[in-house]
Structure 1
Amino acid sequence: MEQVDLVIRNGTIIDPKNEINGAICDVAVKNSKIYSIGKGLLVTAVKEIDAAGCLVTPGLIDNHVHCYEYATPLGINPDRDCLARGVTTAVDCGSAGASTFMGLRKYVVEKSSTRVLCLLHIASHGLAAAGCAGGCPGGESDTLAFLDIDACKGCIEKNRDVIKGVKIRLQKSVCAKGATEDEAYRRALIVSEACAVPLMVHHIESSVPTQRPDGADTRIGCPSHLRAGDFYTHAFHGYDETIINSANGKVHDDVISARKRGVLFDVGHGMGSFNWKVAEIGAKQGFWPDIISSDLHTQNIRGPVYDLLTVMTKFLHLGMPLYEVIKSTTLTPARALGMETEIGSLTAGCDADITIIKQEACDVQLEDSVTQLRNVKQRLVPVHVFRSGVQHPILPKLPWPNEDILQHLAFQLERCVIKDDA
């Protein structure tokens, strides 16, 4: 029999790349790569794990985190807060810009067991003093001089192994009360197109409209000016410029059009950007996220986000099929990042990034980002995680909900134009 390093036996496999949905199979790993997958594999292994009763998936990809630890107010530790909760690939979204990227590369990417990728902020200093946690008003795009197209392009070209796209935040509070938003957006679009990489846009309480007025086709909009493969993150917030038309309760026409042409709608839960009511309206209209991500950072790891699997649990509760939940955290982000042949599947030859998950019954209240609660009856929890075939410890989950966090978030509900009835 063939000798391998690891075999995971009897697991329920969900691998969307290979269209496997619930087959009971074994997975063998050799030399840090997936070696084979099948029923009753005739191999001997240095290590064997019985995954009976568990889901075995490709290593989870969190498409939106902030992990530039110590250098930015939002930076978490990816090994502690991502890998130890079942995530093998974390995409840092905008923490670094062209002037600060090499620190992210040297001190986070190169030193972490987690695979860390980057969407480079169009602002040269990234989120080094993000207004949401930096203790001061204003934001990274208040001054257009910091949005250097050539510097951003040059940094991407020199670091394509790590940098997979561009990031911008469109929000009046970080763009000189809206005065710089249109131009900042235009520059980000120019860089992403010139470098042939996707653009991720944070779009909340913005002067750039979600739905352009009738007949205003020349007005720059978001997501109307995004292209196939671009990411519209924080898709389920309930503030001004939400995807929902508050007048009729329908998903905006420009949002539907954007999806049809290939724009990817990303959850990006975050401290303030997931609203149960908005997600429920979307679910009833068949508007599910393409990608489930956490926007995990220092201000939300103890709630309301906790970890990626908790965000996945929320969409499972909403009725999103389990297969699609897994696809949105494996194949879809891998493909969007241009890494489909390396990560996001259990295909032989791919990196042996594997997450083993327990789907278990529960009866708990789970909060969104604005204090609204739902009674969740099942949840997804990590059991084992392997990064390039190496097993890493799983840290225990924190209890839901966090009452202290709920009190802290109460003010955000007042800003919502979509929320639960009083």
Structure 2
Amino acid sequence: MLEKVNAAFEKTVLVGIITQNQSEEKLVEYLDELEFLTFTAGGEVVKRFSQKLERPNPKTFLGTGKMEEIHAFVKDKNISTVIFDDELSPSQQKNISKILDCKVLDRTNLILDIFAQRAETSYARTQVELAQCQYLLPRLSGMWTHLERQKGGIGLRGPGETEIETDRRIVRDRIALLKEKIKTIDKQMSVQRGNRGAMVRVALVGYTNVGKSTLMNVISKSDVFVENKLFATLDTTVRKVVVKNLPFLLSDTVGFIRKLPTQLIESFKSTLDEVREADLLLHVVDISHPDFEDHIQSVNQILQDIKSNDKPTLMVFNKIDAYKHLTIDEDDLITEKTTKHYSLEEWKTTWMNNVGAENALFISATNKDNFEEFREKIYTSIREIHVTRFPYNKFLYPDYKDAVED
């Protein structure tokens, strides 16, 4: 039975495929995340469609029968938007739009739209517009008549909303102009980073919506925007923090996500530079999320892509207050125990064995559970970096020489 849709939201359906490389269970996880993305963008999911295929149809992504089924549902339920979990080629998007006769988006387009909503500063808006233009450029053929039919809504914020007459030449010129603008701002931000001196830099990294901004507020006693939606933070926030007698700079960066559009990685280069130039990374993980191990892998992959995977890193497992696990009755000899049945103590043992007890912490930023242990570990890690950078600072390290001699 379909749920009643909130009139304030766009009625949407989600589409994904099951392949040799993507099981049904994995597709459900991706569609759950896609539904949260849709909600963040202002849509409400009415139904999900999936199909088992060896590979996507090069013309329409799905088979003919499934496309007809979706078209009938879209027409019957007056659906305004169909969102595909995978990135569609320009020709696929054009063909599907003709068949379904409604707005067709893919995951990349949806993420770009959320970024367009969330961008607050001129710099963030410039970065997002650049990514949007790079995404739209190969899709211009037939795009504008489609946009004229569908005014506003999810996926249509930014350059495509008002510049209906834009052609490839104008978009290319716009891309060149935006790149120059970003290059100028990047130089300014590089100078700003250089002016911070030799202070130790710590960067919060992690999947989107894991509690980085909440942790930033607690550590720095600042007021960074926090919301239970994806990509609540786009602009990098940097705060000077002092733990005991040690000052350092703490930055909160944009959250990562699976299948993060390459256009965003490129346009948000300066934001990611905060990660590249950090001395210590705090990799924040939402341990209450059932797919948190996949999230860790996604973040590690992006860190590898931006050549920051070899930096000293503390794994900060957040939201322990919300962690729940499946229990197995002692007399149950049939059910196989998996990681979904792990207690928090078992996870602690597992991850501390994997990354070392000194590099894994389990906290709740909201309730400040284990926060003193967290502060102590931060202090110890930063102190080690300080010692190599300021070896003769007797005020900060009165016992340093004695410790070295010992």
Q: TM-score range by the shorter chain?
A: under 0.3
Larger radius of gyration: 2
Provide TM-score, normalisation by structure 1: 0.25
Greater RCO (CA < 8 Å, at least 6 residues apart): 1
The structure with the greater share of residues assigned to helix is 2
- Give the structure with the higher percent strand: 1
TM-score in terms of structure 2 length: 0.26
